[in-house]
Structure formats: C-alpha cells, structure tokens
C-alpha cells in the first residue's frame, strides 16, 4: 500500500514537474523604487495637502497602498541592508555596540560593510536568471569587497555614500560616482550639486539609467531594477525645470521631480507592453528627516518624530505595490471602513480640495450622497453660500484665544469642596507660559 502511494506520488510529481517545465511562465521583472528620507506624509494619497504627487497617487489607485508599512531601521544603511538581505540589522551586521542604541550608518570613514556571508536579493535573483541593476545610493560599504557587483548586481550607476560635501579632497575626498566597477567622477566636481540653489541634474540622470536598462532588458531575461534615488536626502536637490515649482519649497521640488520620474517609468513599462509582467514596489528607507526641515525635510504626516527615531515617524514608510493584471486596483486601504461614499471617502481622496462638498441634510442626514458639482442645485446653493462666507469673514471679530497660555498653578490642586474633605493641595507659584504643543 505504501509502495503504491509512493509510486503514485512520484508519478504525479514527475507529471506536474514536466507540465511545469513546459508551461513555466517567465518570472516577473521587479522594479524597486527606494526613496531616501521621504516621509509617510509626503504623498498626496496620504493627505499631503499640496497634492503634488499625482503619479504616485495614480500608482496607488491602480495598485495597492500599504498604510502600515515599516522599515527595519530608521537610518539609511541599516534599513537598506535589511531590505536587501531580508534580515534585521542586528542579524546582518549593520549595527554598533560602541554605545547603547546608537544610530549607525556608513560614512566614508567606515571600515565595515555588507558581509560576504549575507545573501542579498540580487544574488538570489541572479541564480533565478535575472539581470540586476542598482541605480543611485548603495550605502552598504564603499571598500572594494563591499562593491555591489560583488553582491549580486550586474550593473551599477551611482555612489557608495551620501552626496555630502563639497570636500577639499585633502582632509576629505568628494564622494565618487560609479559606473559598474569603476568611478566615473565625483559629486560636486563632475556631478554638480549647487548647495545654494539646490540645483542638480542627478535625478534626471538616474531616470535615464532606469529607462535605458528597462529598454535593454524588456524582451531579454527577467530583470531587477533597484532605483535608489536620493534627491530628498539633504542636501536636497532638483533639476532646473523643477526648482521653484512646489508649494512646499525645495524639498517639494525634489518630490515633484521624483514623482514625475515614477510616472515616466510606469508609462515606459506600459509602452513596452511589459506592465503585466513587472512588479513595481515604491517605498522609502526611513522617515522624513525633521532635523533638516522645513527647507530640506519632508513630512511624516500625523506620526511622531522622524528619521533616527523608532517612533512611527521614523519607521512607518509610504509604500505602494503596482502590478497590473495581478494586483487589483485600489486595494489595501480603507480610510472609513463600512462608510464608503462614492466620490468622498475614495481611495485616492480625489476632489477634496477643489470644491466644497455639499450634502442635502434633509434628504441625506448621514452625508452619504454629495450633491453633484455639475447639478443646478449645487450651483444655486454655492451662489448663496459664497456671499455669506465673505460677509462672515468681513464682520468677524476674533475672540481672545483660550488655548495659548498654560500655567501649572491652574491645575486641579484645590477643586471646589476640597476644604470639606481636607484634600486641598497647595498649588505652585503662578507662572503663565505660552503652551507648548508638540503635536
């Protein structure tokens, strides 16, 4: 009986295996778009009020948005080491015991880097027949033994460290930019970054690298593109055509340029007809660097703190998966569970800032059915509302704000009735202060 079962099992396995070999589909291409210091709150789809990420918002609408996606560490190097190894920094070596709970990364004086004993995602993909390219920041060690082409990548255009500088090339060298095995120049010298104006063409160069690689590989063997751009990491930069275009300043310029590039990459996949065979994932290595704000730092939305902290602001990242035909559109988020209202509580939160939403509370007290913008009813009501709003603003006399001043002496030291109970407490000296509102 056991023998029969074994033979049956073996023949089933062989049959399945041969069938599998004949019908085996081409593995999907993988495009990993990794941002640098971009915060959860920087995307329009997560509520950034300027709504300047139309392509990312569209990507989320067409794919799956992950509102609760976390990095393994709130700093560049350990986060990237974890992403590429699938292991926590304490397991892959990207941590320090110099002092308790130190944030450690790989500046150019670091001796260490990614150990040979680690298996990186591109190494595993290479075994599966993929061609792998990294564009942008590596940050897993800059010494020869840590070179990305020694750890599974076939091509590289980018830099081993952050684009800090300029240095004098005496006390400290400027950071090199590599093409594959060799450097092709240095930041500030050959790849200029204007610290005063924020102008740099690097994101456009990184886009071109991605476009060329995708075109080259589109109909070859499957590919893995790791697009690790760094325009949102201080010193924040954008190319000339994006500088000054954001309501959010220079940081927003950088986000707008990246958003535009993401749109171009997704469109290219569609134009090449490989969108249904390419899995695209967008995320960031750590939360926005509030220490660089407001000019060079992003937004972590409602979350506490940011980069270099393990609060939500440091660890929770924007994340979107996109794979037409495989990932159903508009999945993964429900801001108002059980209260889906067409055109209002939408996945993409569209139309929220263009015109006021109006509800007829007589017919619709639950505010489930916004009146159509194009209806005569809506337009007539708006004509009545606007003059009333204007009149209100003109005649309004603001009251003294009640939430500006704080004083420890006004706390519940001696509530009414405390004397009878003998429970009155002495209040501290009155010391009115401006309230501190950290959130």
Based on the residue annotation, tell me whether 139 is a catalytic residue of this protein: yes
Backbone angles phi, psi at 158, to 5 degrees: 155, -160
Stretch that binds Ca ion, among 41-49, 132-140, 258-266, 283-291 (CB under 5 A): 283-291
Return the bridge partners of 185, or none. 177
Return the bridge partners of 137, or none. 159
> CB-wise, 163 or 347, nearer to Ca ion?
163
Stretch that binds Ca ion, among 68-76, 189-197, 260-268, 404-412 (CB under 5 A): 68-76
Selected from 30, 33, 37, 158, the binder of Ca ion by CB under 5 A is: 37
* Residue 163 C-beta: closest distance to Ca ion, Å: 12
Q: Is 251 exposed, middle or buried (0-12, 13-18, 19+ CB in 10 A)?
A: buried
Backbone angle region of 201, left / alpha / beta, with phi > 0 → left and psi within -120 to 50 → alpha: alpha
Q: Please state the separation of Cα 132 from the chain's center in Å.
A: 22
> Which residue intervals of 317-409 are DSSP H helices?
376-395
Inter-residue contact 434 to 405 (CB < 8 Å): yes
* Residue 345 C-beta: closest distance to Ca ion, Å: 33
> CB-wise, 193 or 266, nearer to Ca ion?
193
* Residue 259 C-beta: closest distance to Ca ion, Å: 18
Buried b (16+ CB within 10 A) or exposed e, 254-286: bbbbbbbbbbebbebbeeeebbebbbbbbbbbb
Selected from 29, 31, 33, 36, the binder of Ca ion by CB under 5 A is: 36
Based on the residue annotation, tell me whether 147 is a catalytic residue of this protein: no
Inter-residue contact 414 to 424 (CB < 8 Å): yes
For tokens 């065979």, what's the residue? 277
Return the bridge partners of 273, or none. none
Q: Which of the residues 55, 76, 151, 305 is marked catalytic?
A: 76
> CB-wise, 37 or 259, nearer to Ca ion?
37
52 binding Ca ion? (CB under 5 A): no
> CB-wise, 29 or 77, nearer to Ca ion?
77
Buried b (16+ CB within 10 A) or exposed e, 315-338: bbbbbbbbbbeebeebebbeeeee
Q: Which of the residues 55, 100, 139, 392 is marked catalytic?
A: 139
Stretch that binds Ca ion, among 31-39, 65-73, 103-111, 399-407 (CB under 5 A): 31-39
Stretch that binds Ca ion, among 124-132, 284-292, 293-301, 350-358 (CB under 5 A): 284-292
| Helix, strand, coil share (%) of the chain residues, nearest 5 | 30, 15, 55
* Residue 285 C-beta: closest distance to Ca ion, Å: 4
> CB-wise, 278 or 286, nearer to Ca ion?
286
285 binding Ca ion? (CB under 5 A): yes
Stretch that binds Ca ion, among 37-45, 88-96, 138-146, 399-407 (CB under 5 A): 37-45
* Residue 355 C-beta: closest distance to Ca ion, Å: 38
Among residue numbers 150 through 189, which ones bind Ca ion (CB under 5 A)? Answer: none
Q: Coil, strand or helix: which one is 158?
A: strand
76 binding Ca ion? (CB under 5 A): yes
> CB-wise, 229 or 280, nearer to Ca ion?
229
Inter-residue contact 191 to 200 (CB < 8 Å): yes
* Residue 74 C-beta: closest distance to Ca ion, Å: 8
> CB-wise, 164 or 279, nearer to Ca ion?
164
Selected from 161, 286, 292, 299, the binder of Ca ion by CB under 5 A is: 286
* Residue 57 C-beta: closest distance to Ca ion, Å: 22
Which CA distances in Å does 131 have to 31, 98, 127, 152?
12, 38, 10, 9
Inter-residue contact 320 to 58 (CB < 8 Å): no
**Residues annotated as part of the active site:** 76, 139
Q: Which residues bind Ca ion (CB under 5 A)?
A: 36-37, 76, 285-286
């Amino acid at each position: 009986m056991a023998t029969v079962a074994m033979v049956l099992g073996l023949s089933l396995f062989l049959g399945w295996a041969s069938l599998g070999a004949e019908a085996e589909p081409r593995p999907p291409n993988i495009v990993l778009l990794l941002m640098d210091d971009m915060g959860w709150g920087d995307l329009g789809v997560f509520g950034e009020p300027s709504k300047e990420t139309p392509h990312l918002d569209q990507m989320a609408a067409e794919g799956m948005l992950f509102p609760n996606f976390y990095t393994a560490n709130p700093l560049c190097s350990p986060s990237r080491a974890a992403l590429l190894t699938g292991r926590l920094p304490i397991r892959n070596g990207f941590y320090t015991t110099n002092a308790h709970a130190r944030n450690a990364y790989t500046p150019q004086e670091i001796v260490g880097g990614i150990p040979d004993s680690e298996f990186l995602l591109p190494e595993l993909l290479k075994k599966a027949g993929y061609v792998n390219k990294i564009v942008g920041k590596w940050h897993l060690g800059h010494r020869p033994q840590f070179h990305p082409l020694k750890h599974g990548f076939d091509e590289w255009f980018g830099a081993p460290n952050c684009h800090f500088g300029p240095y004098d090339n005496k006390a400290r060298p400027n950071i090199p930019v590599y093409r594959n095995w060799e450097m092709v120049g240095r930041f500030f010298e050959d790849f200029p970054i204007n610290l005063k104006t924020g102008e740099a063409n690097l994101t456009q160069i990184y886009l071109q690298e991605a476009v060329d690689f995708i075109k080259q590989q589109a109909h070859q063997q499957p590919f893995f593109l790791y697009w690790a751009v760094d325009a949102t990491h201080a010193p924040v930069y954008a190319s000339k055509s994006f500088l000054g275009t954001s309501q959010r300043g220079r940081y927003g310029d950088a986000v707008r340029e990246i958003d535009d590039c993401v749109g171009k990459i997704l469109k290219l996949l569609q134009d090449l007809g490989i969108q249904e065979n390419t899995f695209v994932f967008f995320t960031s290595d750590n939360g926005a660097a509030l220490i660089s704000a407001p000019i060079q730092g992003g937004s972590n939305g409602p979350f506490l703190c940011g980069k270099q902290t393990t609060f939500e602001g440091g660890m929770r990242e924007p994340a979107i998966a996109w794979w037409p035909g495989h990932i159903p559109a508009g999945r993964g988020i429900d801001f108002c569970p059980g209260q889906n209202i067409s055109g209002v509580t939408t996945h993409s939160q569209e139309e929220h800032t263009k015109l006021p939403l109006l509800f007829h509370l007589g017919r619709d007290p639950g505010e489930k059915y916004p009146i159509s913008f194009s209806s005569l009813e809506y337009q007539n009501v708006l004509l009545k509302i606007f003059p009333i709003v204007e009149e209100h603003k003109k005649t309004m006399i603001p009251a003294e704000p009640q939430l500006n001043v704080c004083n420890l002496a006004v706390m519940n030291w001696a509530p009414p009735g405390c004397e009878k109970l003998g429970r009155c407490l002495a209040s501290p000296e009155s010391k009115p202060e401006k309230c501190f509102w950290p959130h």
